[in-house]
Structure 1
Amino acid sequence: MTEPHEVFAELCRQAARLSRAGAASLSGLRVSYGDISLDLTWTAQPGEPPPPGDAEEAEDGSWRVHAPMVGTFYHAPQPGAEPFVREGDAVAAGQQVGVIEAMKLMNAVTAERAGVVTEILVPDATPVEYGRPLIVLRPDE
């Protein structure tokens, strides 16, 4: 007989696969197995545009790196390690600036454009929602 925690873990894996597969037209999902059920709700409703990308500039010419998913944002690859970036660091386009842990998987957060880190908006080990601004960059002059 399958243990309830094993069933729940499999439901979570399948739900994660659905969300990664681009089931954006769904706003919610319920998966059940016997007495166990898993309810998921997408934060973006069908037809709702995604949050602005890194390329959207503020009036002062700065832009922000946003969370590409829901999870926990970390400044460094592991506890005690040096952070990916600090305020004042120059960042290249495509450079990793953080990591988001989602369902025990570590996902790189990268900058879409080059710039200088002017502010890190989210403390280390903070839960974040999809689209939350994480880091402010300004053009390198």
Structure 2
Amino acid sequence: MSKDNKIDQELVRQLAVILNETDLTEIEVEQGDLHIRVARNITMSVAAPVAQPAMAAPAMQAAPTAVAEAPQAAESKGHVVKSPMVGTAYLAPEPGADEFVKVGDTVTAGQTILIVEAMKHMNQISADRAGKVTEIFVESGQPVEYGEPLLTLE
């Protein structure tokens, strides 16, 4: 292998770090004749779809429909608080504890309304304005996507 054809291991490491930090599944870089693709297999971390692929496919197809319908219903009733990141939503600070908010609760701007765990970090999600919680779209332990509606404030 000539010197020009050596793989830049530091670049591959940097891409892997970016991949993990951004919670992406793959990243590609092209510079001249050099083309590097770094990807990770996310199906290994989700046991149910691997064990029962026939059941996982319909569930995965139904989820985007439910997410797509939720903002339309929520926007007509009030202010929708959306997830600022990809992760797992938790409605309480720890298992067995009271939830941060329930439907009917009044919240103040800056008040913690739930937690989104991303890459082993618990990120407190705060209300961006005061209001009354009219709907909660997620359940504790549910995966959420960036921009997915979490709850509605009136």
Alignment TM-score, normalising by the size of structure 1: 0.61
How far, CA to CA, are the matches of 1:80 and 1:12 in structure 2? 36
Counterparts of 1:13 and 1:81, CA distance in 2: 34
**Counterpart contact for 1:11–1:38, Cα < 8 Å:** no
101, 109, 119: which one aligns with 1:103: 119
Q: State the Cα distance separating 1:30 from its structure 2 match.
A: 4.6
Identical residues among aligned pairs (%): 45
Q: Which has the larger radius of gyration?
A: 2
Superimposed CA distance per residue, residues 35-86 of structure 1 (whole angstroms, 9 cap, x where no aligned partner): xx5359xxxxxxxxxxxxxxxx9344x1111001000001001111111001
Aligned pairs for 1:116-131 (under 5 A) are 116-131=132-147
* Unmatched 5+ stretches in structure 1: 1-9, 21-27, 32-36, 41-56
Alpha carbons of 1:12 and 1:71: their partners in 2 closer, same or farther (altered >3 Å)? farther
Choose which of 75, 85, 93 in structure 2 pairs with 1:58.
75
1:11-56 CA-partner distances (Å, limit 9, x unpaired): 7655344x39xxxxxxx6159xxxxx5359xxxxxxxxxxxxxxxx
Q: Which has the larger helix fraction?
A: 2
CA gap of 1:13–1:80, structure 2 versus 1, over 3 A, is farther
Corresponding residue SS for 1:15:
helix
Separation in 1 of the partners of 2:119 and 2:16?
8
Paired residues, what number? Answer: 101
**Over aligned residues, Cα RMSD in angstroms?**
3.0
Runs of 4+ in 1 over 4 A off after TM superposition: 10-14
Structure 2 counterparts to residues 24-103 of structure 1, below 5 A: 29-30=27-28, 37-39=38-40, 58-60=75-77, 62-103=78-119
Distance 1:90 1:13 in 2: 40
Deviation at 1:115, TM superposition (A): 0.0
Shift of 1:91: 0.4
Q: Is the 8 A contact 1:116 1:137 kept in 2?
A: yes
